[in-house]
Every structure is written in C-alpha cells, then in structure tokens.
Amino acid sequence: MTQTALITGASAGIGAEFARQLAASGHDLILTARRLDRLQAVANELSSQHGIRVHCIAADLAVPADVERLLADVLQLGWPVDLFVQNAGYGLPGRFHSEPMATHRQFIEVMMTSPLALIHGLLPGMRARGRGRIINIASLAGFMPGSDGHTLYGACKAFWVKVSESLSQENRSHGVRVLALCPGFTYSEFHDSNGSRPLVSKMPKWLWMQAKDVVREGLKAIEQDRIVYINGWHNRLIKAVVTTMPDRLARAFSARQSRRFRITKD
C-alpha cells in the first residue's frame, strides 16, 4: 500500500532531501513551504522520476490561519498522512534585546506553536489507523548550553527533544513512532538565509554533514524505533563530552565556540 508523507519546509535543504528519498521509496508526498514555485519545481522533478503523486500547499507557518488552512487542505485531499516530517525552521541572529518582541513571537510561532498544531491535527488519524511516524527536526544545539546570540534557537530545539520523548511514550501503544532527529552542521540554505554563512564557512570541514546522509540516517532511525537520534559520530562525541563536563566548564566551552559562528548585534 502506498504511503503518504507530509513535509514542511520542503522547498530546499533537509526538507527537499526528505522529499527525494521518500519519493524514491514510493511515498506519495504533500509538500508545504512559503514558496510555491520552489515547491512545484521539486514536485515536478519527483513525480516525473518516480511516478508518485505530489501535492503542493503554500503556507506560512508564522500565520495561524495558514496553519489551519493547511490542515484543512490535507484532510480535504483525502490522502492519509502516514509520516509527518516537521522540518520548517530558521535561525534568528543577534541578541534577544536587539529584535522587537513581535519578531520573537513570529519565530516561536514557526518553530514551536505551528508544528505542535500540525501534530495535534494529524495524531488522531494516525492513532485511529494504528500506524504513524513523526520526525521532528531538532538539533545538536538542543543539548548545548545556551549561547551569546541566536537566543531562542537552542531552546526551541531542546523543546523538541523533550516533546518527542513525551509524544513517543503517549502514542507508541497505538502504533505511532516519534523521533527527534538532531543534526549538527549540515550543508543547506539554512546559514545563507540568516546571514551566518561567512562565519560558519570557517568551521572545520569534518564538522559538516550532507543533507542526504542526515535524512538517510533519520529514516533508518525511526524504523528502528529510536526516539532521539544525533546524526554523525562527531556530533555524538561532542554531545557526550559537553554533557559530562561540569556545568561551568561546559558553558565556558560553549561560549568560546559560539563566538566563532554566532552573529551578535548590540
């Protein structure tokens, strides 16, 4: 039986790579992002290559009405969603006080509130069918001490680790698996969109992963019923070292490293 995957932030980066790998395995796709032209380009490529159905829905997750419309459109489409990849997101450079609170509210809407609303809307169908998969794209940043700049990013990613753990416990007896996928530095448009590309390009090459490897590992991890998965041996080593350090030393280490790739504005 053909399965359907819904992917947010599917027009580029990790989201587009999820679309490619799931299309290659025969999934029908529902793709959403703000840029319909980019989504349609991905859809045309994958439907012609793999003979699958692809439906595109333009939506801005910063707008609650768009999220409600997205859920309504998915239900009206009538393709039961077997896999939800919660991927859309961005980084907000600078220190907390340097941006208006409205900007932070928008960030929280995209990174936390809207994805929760989508999961809340999709879970009943998954539980009723006795099968479902939810992959929340968290980050290695969710395990690191807070840094100077990008104030809310690590906090949001830590949130998704904890939420995924709870959702897994609540839904596994109904056949629904939930994974927090935690990549580190990954080649994508992420750092171009927030202006940090010149800084992060100075990071050692061994710290970086390709999106295709992040996605491949994530799809394997959820089928293995993993709840939290950190991509890459180097990222797992970093997490192990930092979480076993005394807190004061870990914060000092994080502060020193974050100055190399965090944008700060007074």
Domains in the chain, CATH or no CATH each: 4-258 (3.40.50.720)
Active site residues: 153
Locate 14 and state its tokens.
Answer: 């990790």
User: From start to end of 120-259, where are the E strands?
Assistant: 132-137, 176-182, 186-187, 209-210, 228-230
Helix (H/G/I), strand (E/B), else coil: 87: coil
Q: Any idea of the CA torsion for 9, 12, 14, 19, to the nearest 10 degrees?
A: 80
Instruction: Give the angle subtended at the CA of 228 by the CAs of 149 and 264, to the nearest 5°.
Output: 5
Q: What is the pLDDT along the chain (266 residues), one digit of tens a residue?
A: 679 999 999 999 999 999 999 999 999 999 999 999 999 999 999 999 999 999 999 999 999 999 999 999 999 999 999 999 999 999 988 889 999 999 999 999 999 999 999 999 999 999 999 999 999 999 999 998 887 878 899 999 999 999 999 999 999 999 999 999 999 988 765 545 544 445 556 666 767 899 999 999 999 999 999 999 999 999 999 999 888 988 888 788 777 766 666 555 55
